[in-house]
Amino acid sequence: MAPTSATPSAVPRLALRGITKRYPAVVANDAIDLTVQAGEIHALLGENGAGKSTLMKIIYGAVHPDAGEVRFNGQPVDIRGPQQARALGISMVFQHFSLFDTLSVAENVWLGLGSDLSLGQVEQRITEKAAAYGLEVDPQRPVHTLSVGERQRVEIIRALLGDPQLLILDEPTSVLTPAAVQRLFEVLQRLASQGCSIVYISHKLHEIRALCSACTVLRGGRVTGTCDPRVESSASLSRLMIGSDPPQLQHRPQAAGAVALSVRGLSVARADPFGTDLQDINLQLHAGEILGVAGVSGNGQRELLACLSGEDRRAPPGTIALGSTDVSTASAAQRRQLGLHFVPEERLGRGAVPGMSLALNTLLTRSEPIERGWWINRSGTDQAV
């Protein structure tokens, strides 16, 4: 692999040596070394389960290593919690957001800033930081009315208000549109030009090659290589990440079949003050087709999907049909019985219950494993997965 092109400074911003973290069933991190220079955007690449998130939680103080050393600006540190990490100048934006839906944007940010500032001062700082980095957000808006992309902006602004020297981003583009990804990249490049070091966790090879100047690759909890991703190919990075070339995908022509879903003249008023009215929506989806719904976040996508899934049952009769069946006012359960399934953008909380197993989560929408008297057949639950 090609060496990284970043010019090393006398003192790295972050240096990890021999970091090891063991759990009862797995060694999540096995003697990992990692060096991040000042002003560098450093990618941490690896498949799911490679140990990326565990390593970053160690840096942020959310997890304590079993062995190894962490140095920040040349000094050995024993980070015992996120509060200590933030005091050092380390901020992290987690893959799954930690925001309270019932609070406003400013109130959520205020929780992490201590009691030195008033809520009004926090709102002003949010507005200033959002304007400076092009991250539009209304400080007084309730979080439950925000899209996933907008919630991520809140998390990033909250991290930036701490003026971090090191910013960790865990899978930041997993729920973003291409336009939002490009805007995020511009923000990160600007931060790096100002001296902030960034650790960018992802398994999206094209993003890493476009954004990062250095890359450390993990596989099975171990470092398998370091490189400058800008001079690598996706194939070479993939070999480091999975140990072999990815399988070749083959396109198979597919003739469109009968109409599976049709929407005719769908108009529904917004359900909350921050929503969007649906006005005369028309579309058809045939069997064997993939239909894209494009648009900048906040332009009615959420409202349309709520009507299609049955979460919002205010659609006028005759506007939504599955095959030849009118489902405009049908419940979500009735639509599932007819073959319509919905995966929401909020994977945790709405799509799944984090504290429950995969098998038990299936009981939220399936009834086969439930027997007379509401007893749960455990073997039946496992088979349903």
Complete DSSP assignment for 173-205 = TTT--HHHHHHHHHHHHHHHHTT-EEEEEE--H
> At which of 242, 275, 305 does a domain end?
242
Q: Residue 202 is part of which domain span?
A: 14-242
pLDDT of residue 346 exceeding 80: no
Number of domains in the chain: 3
Rounded distance between C-alpha atoms, residue 32 and residue 216, angstroms? 10
Burial of 211 (0-12, 13-18, 19+ CB in 10 A): buried
> Is 137 inside a domain boundary?
yes
Q: Name the CA radius of gyration of the chain, rounded.
A: 24
pLDDT of residue 4: 41
- In this structure, the answer to whether residues 278 and 378 fall within a common structural domain is no
Q: Which domain-ending residue is among 208, 242, 276? A: 242
1 within domain boundaries: no
Given a cut of 60, is residue 1 above it in pLDDT? no
Calculate the CA 44 to chain-centre distance. 15
pLDDT in tens, 136-191: 889 999 998 888 778 888 888 888 888 899 999 988 887 677 777 888 898 899 99
Kindly state whether residue 6 falls inside one of the protein's structural domains. no
Lowest mean pLDDT among 57-71, 170-184, 195-209, 321-335: 170-184
The predicted pLDDT at position 181 comes to: 83
Q: Which residues contact 13 (CB under 8 A, 6 or more apart)?
A: 36, 37, 38, 40, 72, 73, 165, 166, 197
Average pLDDT over residues 202-209: 87
pLDDT reported for residue 382:
65
Nearest to 353 by CA among 341, 362, 345: 362
Is there a domain that residue 8 lies in? Answer: no
Tell me: do 281 and 382 sit in the same domain: no
Q: Are residues 168 and 310 in the same domain?
A: no
Rounded Cα gap, residues 284 and 58, in angstroms: 49
237 shares its domain with 107: yes
The full DSSP string for 101-153 is: TTSBHHHHHHHTS-SSS-HHHHHHHHHHHHHHHT----TTSBGGGS-HHHHHH
Q: Report the share of the chain in percent with pLDDT over 90.
A: 50
Q: Is pLDDT of 74 > 50? A: yes
* Cα–Cα dist 245/178, whole Å: 26
Alpha carbons 296 and 69: distance in angstroms, whole number? 44
Q: Point out the least confidently predicted range of 259-268, 302-311, 319-328, 356-365.
A: 356-365
| pLDDT for the residue numbered 131 | 87
Query: What is the distance between the alpha carbons of residues 196 and 73, in angstroms, rounded to a whole number?
Result: 12
| Residues 58, 170 within the same domain | yes
Statement to judge: residues 206 and 63 lie in one domain: yes
Query: What residue type is 96 in one-letter code?
Result: H
Residue 290 clears pLDDT 80, i.e. is over it: yes
In order of 22, 93, 160, 342, the CA distances from 82 in angstroms are 20, 12, 15, 35
- If asked whether residues 120 and 269 sit together in one domain, one would say no
Range from 150-164, 259-273, 288-302 that averages highest in pLDDT? 259-273
Looking at the structure, do residues 71 and 104 belong to the same domain, yes or no? yes
**Band (234; pLDDT cuts 50, 70, 90):** confident
- Say whether both 150 and 264 belong to one domain: no
* Residue 252, domain member (yes or no): no
pLDDT at 375 over 60: yes
Mean pLDDT of the chain: 87
17 vs 131 pLDDT, higher one: 17
Lowest mean pLDDT among 287-296, 321-330, 370-379: 370-379
CB atoms within 10 A of CB 108: 24
CATH code (residue 311)? 3.40.50.300
Domain contains 373: yes
How long, in residues, is the chain? 385
Give the contacts of 279 (CB within 8 A, at least 6 positions apart). 267
Q: Count CB atoms within 10 A of the CB of residue 54.
A: 21
**For residue 6, pLDDT beyond 60:** no
Residue 253 falls inside a structural domain: no
Average pLDDT over residues 71-93: 92
Residue 45 and residue 236 in contact, taking contact as beta carbons nearer than 8 Å: no
Residues 264 and 385 grouped into a single domain: no
Residue 3's pLDDT band, with cuts at 50, 70 and 90, is very low
- Please check whether residues 342 and 378 belong to one and the same domain: no
Do 147 and 192 fall within a single domain? yes
Place of tokens 């090891």: 20
Residue 137 structure tokens: 């957000």
Structure tokens at 37: 């220079």
pLDDT category of residue 114 using cuts at 50, 70 and 90: low
Share of the chain above pLDDT 70, in %: 94
179 phi, psi to nearest 5 deg: -65, -40
* Model confidence pLDDT, tens digit, residues 250-264: 888 878 899 999 999
Query: At CA 229, angle to CA 228 and CA 230, rounded to 5?
Result: 90
Residue 328 lies in a domain: yes
pLDDT of residue 383: 65
Look at the block and give the residue holding tokens 């992309």.
Answer: 149
Rounded-to-integer distance, Cα 376 and Cα 368, Å: 9
Residue pair 355/349 in contact by the 8 Å Cβ criterion: no
Q: Name the residue with higher pLDDT: 151 or 374.
A: 151
